[in-house]
């Protein structure tokens, strides 16, 4: 297949990079070439998997707003936003792909400027947020994505919900699952996976250890970077996490998951999961309650991996 698909991830943590790399590898498996872009900490993960990645100017709206202030957004994130769009425009013109598949709002803005067919792959929705400024911004973003994209692909562990953006196309959760990635050499009772914005996970890990659990804390001093986390999630009896990328990986891996949310988006996702009664997940809001949930975890989830669905949808439209 003589076709190149551009795949770009949002520069916030490794989760965005993980799922977009999974999508990219699905295109490779289908016979297409890929060009990868992103920036931020997630690009290190992609490079660890042996890929070259274009690093556009990084932004961090969530960190600047939720850990800073609106003024910090105006003085830091906003100026870098224009630079990020410009960087993506230059990259798309250089690569000249048949399509761009992305979860990045700035890459999505660059696609129409270069005449590149756009496909969105993200779960973000205005209904997740309580703050009016976040609701309005996300609603406007969703409207733009729906208008600019050929298809807005929406990976979800829940069935279609009234809080989903209207007009999205549901696909199963997306997870990076390479064939050649080995899991841990020892048994794991609990795999603890913090996100960029979570706190107290070291305290949580130590609390679980004092209760007799064999705990692996991703990112601590003893942790070595791995090409994919899914084999470790499959090997664990239960996973504790904050971010939605790990939620999707637990869904695909069939591992019971306790969610300990921190950001507004994470809280919004957990509200949908609780409201829809999604099997395999339990939401808690303190170290004590997480530890109690680990002692009696939920049933195992059971979901297909949506990466092939994403790749086949895009390639069918392109060919």
Residues ≥6 apart with Cβ < 8 Å to 266: 195, 197, 242, 243, 244, 259
Residue 221's pLDDT is 86
Residue 234's pLDDT is 95
Residue 54's pLDDT is 97
Phi-psi domain of 39 (left: phi exceeds 0; alpha: psi -120 through 50; beta: other): left
Closest-CA residue to 35 (of 49, 21, 48): 21
User: DSSP per residue over 230-274, as a string?
Assistant: HHHHHHEEEEEESSHHHHHHHHHHT--EEE---SHHHHHHHHHHH
The two three-digit tokens of residue 113, written as one number: 């400027």
Span 99-116, pLDDT tens digits: 999 999 999 999 999 999
* Contact in structure between 229 and 218 (CB atoms under 8 Å): yes
Residues of the chain where predicted confidence (pLDDT) is lower than 70: 1, 60-78
H or E stretch covering 73: none
Span 4-44, pLDDT tens digits: 999 999 998 788 999 999 999 999 999 999 999 999 888 88
pTM above 0.75? yes
Residue 158's pLDDT is 97
* Contact in structure between 318 and 3 (CB atoms under 8 Å): yes
Residue 68's pLDDT is 56
Residues ≥6 apart with Cβ < 8 Å to 257: 238, 239, 240, 241, 246, 247, 250, 251, 280, 281, 282, 298, 301
The two three-digit tokens of residue 147, written as one number: 């208008």
Residue 13's pLDDT is 76
Closest-CA residue to 110 (of 136, 89, 129, 93): 89
Residue 77's pLDDT is 66
């Amino acid at each position: 297949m003589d076709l190149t698909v551009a795949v770009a991830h949002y520069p916030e943590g490794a989760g965005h990079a993980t799922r977009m790399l999974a999508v990219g590898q699905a295109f490779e498996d289908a016979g297409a070439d890929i060009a990868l872009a992103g920036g931020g900490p997630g690009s290190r993960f992609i490079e660890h998997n042996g890929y070259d990645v274009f690093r556009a100017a990084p932004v961090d709206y969530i960190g600047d707003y939720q850990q800073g202030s609106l003024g910090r957004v105006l003085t830091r994130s906003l100026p870098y936003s224009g630079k990020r769009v410009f960087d993506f425009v230059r990259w798309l013109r250089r690569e000249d792909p048949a399509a761009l598949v992305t979860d990045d709002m700035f890459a999505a803005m660059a696609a129409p400027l270069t005449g590149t067919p756009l496909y969105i792959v993200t779960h973000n929705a205005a209904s997740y947020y309580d703050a009016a400024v976040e609701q309005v911004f996300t609603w406007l973003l969703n409207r733009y994505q729906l208008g600019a994209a050929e298809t807005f692909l929406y990976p979800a562990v829940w069935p279609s919900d009234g809080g989903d953006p209207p007009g999205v196309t549901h696909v199963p959760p997306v997870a990076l699952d390479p064939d050649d990635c080995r899991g841990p050499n020892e048994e794991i009772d609990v795999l603890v996976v913090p996100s960029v914005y979570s706190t107290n996970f070291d305290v949580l890990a130590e609390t679980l250890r004092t209760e007799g659990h064999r705990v692996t804390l991703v990112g601590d001093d003893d942790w070595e970077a791995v090409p994919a986390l899914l084999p470790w999630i499959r090997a664990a009896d239960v996973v504790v996490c904050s971010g939605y990328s790990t939620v999707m990986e637990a869904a695909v891996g069939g591992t019971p998951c306790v969610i300990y949310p921190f950001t507004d988006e994470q809280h919004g996702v957990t509200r949908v999961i609780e409201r829809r009664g999604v099997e395999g997940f339990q939401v808690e809001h303190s170290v004590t309650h997480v530890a109690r949930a680990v002692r009696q975890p939920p049933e195992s989830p059971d979901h297909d991996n949506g990466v092939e669905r994403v790749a086949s949808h895009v390639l069918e439209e392109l060919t």
